[in-house]
Amino acid sequence: MIRTLSLAAVAALGLASVTVAQEGPTPEQQAVNARQSHMTLYAHNLGKLGAMAQGNAEYNAETATAAAASLHHLVQLDQSGYWLEGTSSEQMEESRALPALWQNLEDAGAKHEALMTAVENLQSTAGTDLASLQAALGGVGQACGACHENYRVPQN
């Protein structure tokens, strides 16, 4: 019995040592994970609004207002840690950010400012009625697309 417990303890310590020895994600991997998670949250909220705008879901002022408010919070978050040098699609397979982004940071920043303005407009109108939501959502789509056209690898 004692021998069995001793063997189990040695095995557990060995597994713990292997677990401790494994490295966590690099700062670059953390940055890519963070920005992809951020974009997923954008998509989640835009999906709700888009479904209403396209008639695939019934317009609901409360849901539209909440999703627009969430987007507003998201665009306000500090993203500086998401865009580390060395995290473009050329350096990291899981990244879809083109190297051009780092070569044009001023333009990318201006595009983010345009997104912030479009989301502010969306937030102020999304709960009004369907037509207002549709009009404001178009502006957000254009702002998103302006950045993605120049700075993101297209999906297959």
- The pair of structure tokens assigned to 114 is 């345009």
Q: How many CB atoms lie within 10 A of CB 40?
A: 9
Q: Is 148 annotated as a binding residue?
A: yes
Report the distance separating Cα 126 and Cα 134, nearest Å: 8
Q: Is 44 annotated as a binding residue?
A: no
Q: Is 38 annotated as a binding residue?
A: no
Distance set, CA 86 to CA 1, 15, 58, 81, 96 (Å): 54, 33, 43, 12, 12
Q: Residues 12, 15, 17, CA angle at the centre, nearest 5°?
A: 110
- The pair of structure tokens assigned to 128 is 């009004």
Q: Which residues are annotated as a binding site for heme c?
A: 144, 147-148
Q: Which residues are annotated as a binding site?
A: 144, 147-148
